[in-house]
Structure 1
Amino acid sequence: MESNLLTGTGAVSAANDDFSEYVAHLQLHMTLQARNLVPSLKQTQEGSREQLLHQTQANFEKLISRQGL
């Protein structure tokens, strides 16, 4: 009976390892996707933050102006 218990424990350990590997892969994938979706805010481009803020405000005002009262 002890060998049966040890075999079950080994299977659970292997399943946990597989799940941990899957989560790590998923986190890496999500990080890479986020990098592709978020615009760069580097200081190398002059005014990039101001341009992003201006565009966001313009989009918000456009959305609000199209809503009915």
Structure 2
Amino acid sequence: MHCVIIFGTSNWVPSDYLIYLVLIMGGLLTAGVAMSVFLFYEDHYWGDENFRNKLRFHTSHRNLSKQDTQKI
């Protein structure tokens, strides 16, 4: 009962300006994260052929298929 006296009985309704501001800030944050991920992927994967080859042909897995056939 004491809280009702302090806060009143009506619900707080945010203004349209605040709702639009929160939506725009959320959209900009989401776009910023998406651009950051995309640019990291583009720079460190597509832009670096040596890095791609190193991932594709890792030394521990390089001759794995040939070793399996020789053991059999």
Scaled by the length of structure 1, what TM-score is found?
0.49
Considering Cα pairs closer than 8 Å and 6+ residues apart, tell me whether 1 or 2 has the greater RCO. 1
Please identify which structure carries the higher helix content: 1
Scaled by the length of structure 2, what TM-score is found?
0.47
Between structure 1 and structure 2, the one with the greater Rg is 2
